[in-house]
A = this chain, B = another copy of it.
């Protein structure tokens, strides 16, 4: 299949060069009821879009910031090519990087992307590169990050597709799809690959309280792709594992530790235990950047506690009594014993993960992603 044919029907973010450098992005904050593409020609607009959650999903936030920094220098070159000293450009770099670092406080991919772009710019400046060269270099760097993400999604899809048979009914949680990446996503990548390969599949989609990413985002993007789905409340998963013929569960991950423990959206652990009880394979799909071999196990992952109002309110509606206490852990940790396989862009790891994840890294050490 050509790369063009592998494009998802939904594109989250991309760069256009003419008539002027522009970052185009789907406004995810309006989904699923309005499909609006934004065109940004100023880095401030891009930063505001990240801040306003118009773009979300860890990988895509990092890529957006990288494109935003590239946009800043392309614009700078167009506006005042002749008048800037290296010191001025260095100052501008600091300002722009700070702009993006202040958009989302806890987005690891964001900081990594900003740091990478900053490092790249400093190298160019140290080598006395022109502003035009710097702008081009930063654009190519951002685009290559996007391409790497796209390719990683394709690879996860290619590795995972063999785990899906024609006619399978599958279940997914949260949004680990196109909307979180520039490609097919992570948890959904094998599902897209299976669909494109002509396998007839049906997806049960957990609505994923409290923020409803399943209902709002996953249901929408599968609908765009023409993949048949049934939306369910999270508490129906067990019932449909017992009676709905579910053959496998596919989820993404926020972080995977050395031993194969998986931190992911709250509710993932319950699903994994239910899948285990029903002898249904539970697959975690994530690129190598999600795997943190420095952490021995999931106990070492701190659990982010979010605003309880996400539980007691739905949009503006207060659904609980005033003054009631609510818990809102953002994610949970699934112990490796419940994970049937970890599908990465380097290949598939099976238990024992403490051995197999390392082996995948070793085998792929020389290969650039």
The yes or no answer to A326 lying at the interface (CB within 8 A) is: yes
Evaluate contact between B266 and A233: CB separation under 8 angstroms: yes
The yes or no answer to A84 lying at the interface (CB within 8 A) is: no
The yes or no answer to A332 lying at the interface (CB within 8 A) is: yes
Closest B residue to A329 by beta carbon equals B239
Evaluate contact between B235 and A321: CB separation under 8 angstroms: no
A210 to B326: give the CA distance in the assembly, Å.
18
The yes or no answer to A311 lying at the interface (CB within 8 A) is: yes
What per-residue 1/0 map shows which CB atoms of A225-244 lie under 8 Å from chain B? 00011111111111110100
The yes or no answer to A131 lying at the interface (CB within 8 A) is: no
The yes or no answer to A216 lying at the interface (CB within 8 A) is: yes
Q: Interface segment, A21-29, A268-276, A342-350?
A: A268-276
A32 to B320: give the CA distance in the assembly, Å.
6
A302 to B169: give the CA distance in the assembly, Å.
23
Which of A57-96 touch B at CB < 8 Å? Answer: none
Evaluate contact between B312 and A215: CB separation under 8 angstroms: yes
Q: Which residues of B contact A318 (CB under 8 A)?
A: 33
CB distance from A143 to the nearest CB of B (A): 31
Evaluate contact between A319 and B273: CB separation under 8 angstroms: no
Known A-B contacts A219-B320, A270-B270, A273-B277; A235 and B236 likewise in contact (beta carbons under 8 Å): no
Question: Of residues A204, A212, A267, which shows the largest number of chain B Cβ atoms within 10 Å of its Cβ?
Answer: A267
Q: Which residues of B contact A277 (CB under 8 A)?
A: 273, 276-277
A residues apposed to B, CB below 8 Å: 31-33, 204, 206-210, 212, 215-216, 219-220, 223, 228-240, 242, 266-267, 269-271, 273-274, 276-277, 311-312, 314-315, 317-327, 329, 332
A206 to B327: give the CA distance in the assembly, Å.
11
Q: Which residues of B contact A228 (CB under 8 A)?
A: 325
A60 to B182: give the CA distance in the assembly, Å.
54
Partner of A210, one of B204, B233, B312: B233
A207 to B319: give the CA distance in the assembly, Å.
9
Evaluate contact between A319 and B238: CB separation under 8 angstroms: no
Evaluate contact between B238 and A270: CB separation under 8 angstroms: yes
Evaluate contact between A326 and B269: CB separation under 8 angstroms: no
Evaluate contact between A234 and B231: CB separation under 8 angstroms: no
Evaluate contact between B209 and A233: CB separation under 8 angstroms: yes
